[in-house]
Structure 1
Amino acid sequence: MEHRLLAPADPLAHAADDGWDVLDHVLRHAARWGVDPARTAVFGESCGALIAALTAVRARDAGVRLRAQVLVNPVVDVTGGMFDYPSMAEYAYQPSRAEPLLRLFQRLAAPSGRDARAVSPLYADDLGGLAPALVVVPTQDAVADHGRRYAERLFDAGVPVRLTEYPGAKHAFLTLPGLEPQAEAARAEIFAFLDAALGA
C-alpha cells in the first residue's frame, strides 16, 4: 500500500491510519478484490513493518481476525528510548549512516506534543490475541534489537511468534535479492510461513 510519507504535517499516525484504511477497505469489498476475508495477513518491512504491526493491533481491537503478520526489520519504538539498544550503538554509522536517518524519522513520526508510545507497538498495553507473527531480523541493522524485543513481547503475551535472524544481512536486505545473498532464503521462509498460515 502507498501510505502517506512522513512529513511535518503528516506524522506516523496518519500513515498508520492509511494501513488500517486499506485493510478495512479490502475486507469490506472482498468480492471486488477477489479475496477471502477469512484468510488475511499483514506484511511490512522497516517503517512498513511498523505500520503492519500497528494495523494488526487495530484489527484485533476491531474484532478482525488476521491469520498472520510478517514483520521484516521492524521499527517498533519511536519514543525517546528508540536509540537505547545495543544494535543502535553497533550499527549507527555502518554499514550505512542509519542514526541520522532514524533521528529524522523519529522527529517526523512523533513531532513534539504527540504521544510517541501510541505509535510504538513495543509499548502497546496489551499484545495478547494478535495474529501469529514471523519477525525477520537482519543482524547488521541498527533496528535489529527492535525486532528481537518485539518478538519477546509477543511471546510473553502468548502470541505464536517465530523470530528468524539472518547473520550479516543488512537493513532492507529483502528487497535486494541480487545483492544480499540471504534475501532468497528469507523470501522462501516468508512464503512458507504465509502458505501455512493462510492455507489452514
Structure 2
Amino acid sequence: MTVTRDELSPAARRLCDAMAAGFPGPGDAAALRAAVAAGAPGRPAGPEVASVYDTTAGGVPVRVYDPAPGAAGRPLAVYLHGGGWVMCGPDTHDALCRALAAASGAVVVSADYRLAPEHPWPAAADDALAVLLWARAEAQRLGCDPARVVVAGDSSGGNLAAVTALRAPGMVAGQLLAYPPLDASMGSESVAAYGRGYFHTAAHMAWYWDQYGGDPAHPHVSPLRAADVMGLPRTLIVLADCDLLRDEGLEYARRLGEAGVDCEVRLYPGVFHGFLGLPLPAARAAVAGAAAWLAATP
C-alpha cells in the first residue's frame, strides 16, 4: 500500500475541500462569479477602519480605506484584487483591504477594474495604471506621500500590480505580489505538482488566461517574459507552498534579485492559493507581515 502525505495542514485541507466542493469548473463566468459572491467557508470579517468610501479614480470605481483621516505623509497602496481577471471585486476583498489598512496605517485604494471576458486585455491593466496615476496625483489630498505609493494585489491582481510597476518606471515605491500568475505558458514544475486537488486548478488557470487574452509573450501579459527588470521597486512576493503558481513567483524573485532589485520572498508552507483571506494562522501571519512591509515603505 502506498501512503501519500498531504502537504496541506489539516485546517487548510478542510477549507480547501469545502471550497472546491462548491466551486464550479471553468467555462461559465456567471457561475464562477456567483460562487465567489457567496463567500468562502468561514471567511473572517475585516477590522473597523475609520473611513471607508467609494469614489472614482481616473474613471475607475474604487473603494478607499483610510485608517487615520487627517494624518499626513503615509504610504498609499493601490490594491488590485484577484479572481482570474474574471470575477471578484472590492466586496470580495473588503476584509483583506481593511486588514492591510488597519495594520499598516496606510491608505488603501481598492480598484474595481473591468473584468474579462467582457473586457479582455488590456482593459484591466489600463484601469490599474489609471488608478495608480490618480493615486500619485491625489496622494497629498489623501494624507499620503506621493513618493510612497505602492501597487499591491493577489493572484490576477498580483499580475496587474507587476505589470503596472513595469509600465510606470520610477512612479512606484514598491510592489506587493501575492501568489501572482506571471507566465501564461504555465510550464513550471509546480503546475504539474499542484494543478489538481488544491482548489485552484491548472484547468481553471488556463481558462482564466484564455478569457483575459493578449499575447502570452508580451511582458504586460506575462511579466516573467520582461526582457529587463532592472530598476523595478522594492518587492515583496507572498507565496503558498501548495500552489501551482509558486514557481513563477520564485523565478520572478530570482530574476529581480539578479537585477539588483530589493526583493523578499515569503513562502508559507501547508497552505494553498488564495489563503490570505482565510481563517488560518499562516494567513494572519502573512497579512501582518505584508502590512509591516507596507508601513516601512521608504
Q: TM-score, normalised by structure 2?
A: 0.60
Alpha-carbon distance in structure 2 between the residues aligned to 1:28 and 1:102: 35
Which runs of no fewer than 5 residues in structure 1 stay unpaired? none
1:70 aligns with 2:176: yes
Whose strand fraction is larger, Structure 1's or Structure 2's? 2
Q: Which of 88, 102, 115 matches 2:215? A: 115
Q: Per-residue displacement from partner, 1:97-154 (whole Å, max 9, x unpaired)?
A: 51121111111122xxx42222111011111101100001101111111111111111
1:94 corresponds in structure 2 to 197
1:183 corresponds in structure 2 to 283
Q: Per-residue displacement from partner, 1:142-200 (whole Å, max 9, x unpaired)?
A: 11111111111111111110011000111110011x2x220011011111211222xx3
Which runs of no fewer than 5 residues in structure 2 stay unpaired? 1-110
- Which letter does structure 2 place at the counterpart of 1:18? D
1:27 corresponds in structure 2 to 136
Alpha-carbon distance in structure 2 between the residues aligned to 1:10 and 1:104: 15
Alpha-carbon distance in structure 2 between the residues aligned to 1:109 and 1:21: 18
Alpha-carbon distance in structure 1 between the residues aligned to 2:285 and 2:139: 31
What is the DSSP-based 3-state SS (H/G/I as helix, E as strand, rest coil) of the residue aligned with 1:133?
A: strand
2:67 corresponds in structure 1 to none
Alpha-carbon distance in structure 2 between the residues aligned to 1:12 and 1:47: 12
Contact 2:198–2:273, Cα closer than 8 Å, also in 1: no
Q: Which of 18, 33, 46 matches 2:127? A: 18
What is the DSSP-based 3-state SS (H/G/I as helix, E as strand, rest coil) of the residue aligned with 2:146?
A: coil
Alpha-carbon distance in structure 1 between the residues aligned to 2:259 and 2:116: 30
1:97 and 1:166, CA in 2 relative to 1: closer, same or farther beyond 3 A? closer
- Which letter does structure 2 place at the counterpart of 1:148? L
1:139 aligns with 2:241: yes
- Which letter does structure 2 place at the counterpart of 1:183? A
The percent of aligned pairs where both chains have the same amino acid is 38
Calculate the aligned-residue CA RMSD, in Å: 1.4
1:97 and 1:170, CA in 2 relative to 1: closer, same or farther beyond 3 A? closer
Alpha-carbon distance in structure 2 between the residues aligned to 1:185 and 1:77: 27
Whose helix fraction is larger, Structure 1's or Structure 2's? 1
